[in-house]
């Protein structure tokens, strides 16, 4: 055998070995599905935020799509293991990558539904024709009701938008029959609440939104990055944010600079190891009308 041919083949084999070793290292964690109440399920794992779905009489409605095409496919496969019904709707809670970039793993042509500002953010972020095929086909400004099982009394899903909060397009997905709501990233438990100012998020709007959520006849709340919570956790979250807002307002009144306020809260740089500004910084900027 020609030596150069041998080297070439062994080189290819070596590259295949290293590529597969690399893939094995980056293996995506599996998704796990948990039944929460009635036919509502939560999906954890894979790449990206927690997602959910509800199995209706005629179809499945998915809530959020995870972060990669592969994770989106994992979610679709997990749904297929439980039902042969098709996915009839994909509801998006907001435009962050870890909630929407897995859309390409879903079947094409299923209506994708989002608050209108969320579609605008996705319109900027989705560049390739493949991604753009999954831009929301239905939007709403304040409220939209989906009758998942047309002709049936059950399967009503209400999409509600209150105010700019985590972003300016957060949809609360409310299932009145199950007394349950999926609230996207409107709550973080055990870590700093993220507010995306670059997407017009606002801590005061978040408080109003969470109060709106508490007006719903619901007692279980699913979210993107925490375990399911009860009304109590939402009440506590509101109180914590309002406390911070009041304390920082007092510090602003006393003429404290942002750096001084951050020091008082023990925050250096971006805060709490996050690449996003801390809630303290967001509240300070809101109070001082800094863009
Ligand atoms: Zn988010």
Please, are residues 248 and 280 in contact by the beta-carbon 8 Å criterion?
yes
Using one digit for the tens of pLDDT, what is the confidence trace for 62-115? Answer: 999 999 999 999 999 999 999 999 999 999 999 999 999 999 999 999 999 999
How many Å lie between the centroid of ligand 1 and the Cα of residue 203? 14
Using one digit for the tens of pLDDT, what is the confidence trace for 228-270? Answer: 999 999 999 999 999 999 999 999 999 999 999 999 998 876 5
How many Å lie between the centroid of ligand 1 and the Cα of residue 197? 12
Looking at residue 269, its pLDDT comes to 61
What contacts 24+ positions apart, CB below 8 Å, involve 239-248?
241/193, 241/203, 241/206, 241/207, 241/279, 242/207, 244/279, 244/280, 244/283, 245/203, 245/204, 245/207, 245/283, 245/287, 248/280, 248/283, 248/284, 248/287
How many Å lie between the centroid of ligand 1 and the Cα of residue 185? 5
Looking at residue 216, its pLDDT comes to 98
Q: Residue 119: is its pLDDT beyond 80?
A: yes
How many Å lie between the centroid of ligand 1 and the Cα of residue 96? 5
Per-residue confidence band for 150, with pLDDT thresholds at 50, 70 and 90: confident
What is the maximal distance between C-alpha atoms in the chain?
83
Per-residue confidence band for 26, with pLDDT thresholds at 50, 70 and 90: low
How many Å lie between the centroid of ligand 1 and the Cα of residue 78? 23
How many Å lie between the centroid of ligand 1 and the Cα of residue 12? 41
- The three-class DSSP label of residue 63 is strand
Looking at residue 22, its pLDDT comes to 46
Looking at residue 21, its pLDDT comes to 45
Per-residue confidence band for 19, with pLDDT thresholds at 50, 70 and 90: very low
Looking at residue 1, its pLDDT comes to 43
Averaged pLDDT score across all residues of the chain: 90
Please, are residues 238 and 207 in contact by the beta-carbon 8 Å criterion?
yes
Residue with tokens 């349950």: 180
Q: If 0-12 CB within 10 Å is exposed, 13-18 middle and 19+ buried, where does residue 106 land? A: buried
How many Å lie between the centroid of ligand 1 and the Cα of residue 6? 51
Looking at residue 289, its pLDDT comes to 85
How many Å lie between the centroid of ligand 1 and the Cα of residue 51? 12
Per-residue confidence band for 207, with pLDDT thresholds at 50, 70 and 90: very high
Using one digit for the tens of pLDDT, what is the confidence trace for 156-205? Answer: 999 999 999 999 999 999 999 999 999 999 999 999 999 999 999 999 99
Mean pLDDT confidence for 117-142: 97
Which domains are seen in the chain, by residue range? Answer: 27-231 (3.60.15.10)
Q: Find, among 130, 100, 129, 97, the residue nearest to 114 by Cα.
A: 100
- The three-class DSSP label of residue 258 is helix
- Edge to edge, the sheet with strand 143-147 lists 143-147, 156-160, 172-175, 180-182, 220-222
How many Å lie between the centroid of ligand 1 and the Cα of residue 16? 37
Query: Which tokens sit at 206?
Result: 């978040």
Looking at residue 270, its pLDDT comes to 55
Sequence-separated (6 or more) residues with CB below 8 Å from residue 88: 56, 58, 59, 60, 61, 110, 111, 148
Phi, psi of 86 (to 5 degrees): -75, 160
Q: Where are the beta strands (DSSP E) in the chain?
A: 31-37, 40-45, 51-55, 60-63, 87-91, 112-115, 138-140, 143-147, 156-160, 172-175, 180-182, 220-222
Using one digit for the tens of pLDDT, what is the confidence trace for 34-65? Answer: 999 999 999 999 999 999 999 999 999 999 99
How many Å lie between the centroid of ligand 1 and the Cα of residue 209? 15
How many Å lie between the centroid of ligand 1 and the Cα of residue 196? 8
How many Å lie between the centroid of ligand 1 and the Cα of residue 217? 24
How many Å lie between the centroid of ligand 1 and the Cα of residue 152? 33
How many Å lie between the centroid of ligand 1 and the Cα of residue 187? 10
| 50-86: b (≥16 Cβ within 10 Å) or e | bbbbbbbeebbbbbbbbbbbebbbbbbebbeeeeeee
* pTM for this entry: 0.88
Per-residue confidence band for 151, with pLDDT thresholds at 50, 70 and 90: confident
How many Å lie between the centroid of ligand 1 and the Cα of residue 166? 7
The protein residues having their C-beta less than 5 angstroms from ligand 1 (an ion) are: 96, 185
């Amino acid at each position: 055998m020609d030596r150069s041919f041998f080297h070439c083949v062994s080189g290819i084999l070596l590259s295949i070995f290293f590529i597969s070793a690399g893939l094995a290292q980056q293996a995506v964690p599996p998704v796990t599905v948990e039944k929460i109440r009635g036919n509502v399920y939560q999906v954890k794992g894979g790449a990206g935020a927690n997602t959910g779905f509800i199995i209706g009489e005629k179809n499945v409605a998915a809530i959020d799509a995870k972060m990669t095409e592969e994770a989106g496919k994992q979610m679709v496969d997990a749904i297929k293991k439980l039902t042969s019904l098709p996915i009839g709707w994909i509801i998006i809670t907001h435009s962050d990558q870890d909630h929407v970039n897995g859309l390409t793993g879903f079947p094409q042509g299923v209506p994708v539904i989002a608050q209108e500002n969320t579609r605008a953010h996705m319109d900027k972020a989705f560049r390739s024709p493949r991604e753009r095929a999954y831009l929301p086909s239905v939007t709403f400004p304040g409220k939209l009701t989906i009758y998942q099982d047309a002709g049936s009394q059950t399967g009503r899903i209400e999409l509600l938008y209150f105010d700019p909060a985590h972003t300016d397009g957060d949809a609360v997905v409310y299932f009145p029959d199950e007394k349950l709501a999926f609230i996207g990233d409107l709550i973080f438990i055990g870590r700093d609440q993220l507010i995306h100012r670059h997407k017009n998020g606002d801590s005061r709007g978040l408080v109003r939104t969470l109060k709106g959520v508490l007006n719903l006849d619901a007692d279980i709340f699913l979210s993107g990055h925490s375990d399911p919570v009860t009304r109590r956790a939402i009440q506590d979250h509101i109180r914590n944010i309002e406390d911070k807002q009041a304390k920082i307002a007092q510090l602003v009144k006393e003429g404290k600079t942002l750096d001084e306020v951050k020091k008082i809260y023990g925050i250096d740089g971006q805060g709490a190891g996050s690449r996003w500004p801390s809630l303290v910084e967001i509240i300070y900027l809101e109070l001082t009308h800094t863009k």
